[in-house]
Amino acid sequence: MSAQSPLHVRILIVGGGAGGLSVAARLRRSHEQGIVVVEPSDVNYYQPAWSLVGAGIMPVSSTVKPEAQVMPRGVSWVRSAVTHVDPHRREVSLANGDRITYEALVLAAGIELHWDGLPGLAEAMTTDRVSSNYSFDYAEKTWSILRRITSGTVVFSRASGLVKCPSAAQKIMYLAADHWRKKGCLDKIRIVFVTPGPRIYDKDEFSDVLGTVAADYGIEVRVRTELQSIDSENQTVTITDLDKDESEVLHYDAAHIVPPQSAPAWIADSGLSDPEVAGGWVKADGSTLQHPDFPEIFSLGDNAGTMNGKTASAVRDQAPVVAANVRAVLGGSQPQAQYGGYAGCPITIGDHKVFLTEADYTGNYAPKIPFRTAKPRRSMWLLKRFGLAPLYWYGMLRGRA
């Protein structure tokens, strides 16, 4: 490639994570040719396991593989980052100065974490009191902090707006509480959960169960509250009541923080997002995942503007829809495959039990497993601990699951 003469490809996929590689693999299994994946990272992460890493249950090394090892055969990999998309010219600009034109474009660029989006957070992350399982670089640090706590106040927070796996803020909280109970020091630890939502979980049925779990651990659930800032020097956080517009300063001995998040900035800069919706997510028809203004563009995963949970299970349901609809559009047909909005999340609540939340666009309970999963089960723990990672590496990324 050169800056003067762009490379032309049939299918361009931006992002070599769960969404991008799942679609690429499915397209190759359908004998599609001319597929290029643009991905700057040389590694691929299984992010759902980072809660287990943060609880000392899994080594972080088991959650990463070389990108070259998981790239589908027959797919070309361009190791660079996208800086702009011109949807009218069907052209993508890369950080290395190259350009690529496409017949179909799939956006699976993931999500950006803004460590500087909360005053004091970037500085706090350098201390030995604050961590976050939202990063490969910090997941092991979480365990190093939580395992030495035997008394004091520990704050767990969820950020406002759409974030990837929003339940991750709670998963580590329950795992930590279970650890402290087993050590016999839970009654000496004040656990505070800060969430901007009106209840502990977005949907009533799941909220009732998790509310009971939190009460059993003695967790203070602060609904309709938001973390405003962190003062790591004095070990305090400022929490604002969103209804009363009142603030409180709370001392912490440890904290697990979910940083503010958004889609990559170039999506909005390229005119591909809805300016009326915060976060810069790719505009998409909720069913076909097709861009309403540019029919040759599809999106899935964390960067997609679907109003459901941003989870790996959502990607698993979205990938076959995108792959089928890309093929339809390239063949001159209208997209027919539809995504129902399914998103599931296994929430580890301790004592080797997992509570699996499953819902679709309607907000109703939408189980895929033929027995009731909306209750804590040990069988779900086995699936979470030993089954889901192989499903990701050898099923999803190979277009088989």
Q: Which residues are catalytic?
A: 165, 345
3-state secondary structure of 61: helix
* Longest pairwise C-alpha distance within the chain: 67
Q: Which residues contact 276 (CB under 8 A, 6 or more apart)?
A: none
Distance CA(68)–CA(56), nearest Å, equals: 28
- In this structure, the number of other CB atoms found within 10 A of the CB of residue 273 comes to 22
Distance CA(327)–CA(335), nearest Å, equals: 8
Say if strands 189-194 and 76-78 run parallel, antiparallel, or are unpaired. Answer: unpaired
Q: Which residues contact 226 (CB under 8 A, 6 or more apart)?
A: 160, 194, 196, 239, 240, 242
Which residue has 């027995």 as its token pair? 371
Which parts of 195-263 are beta strand (E)?
220-222, 225-231, 236-241, 246-251, 254-256, 261-262
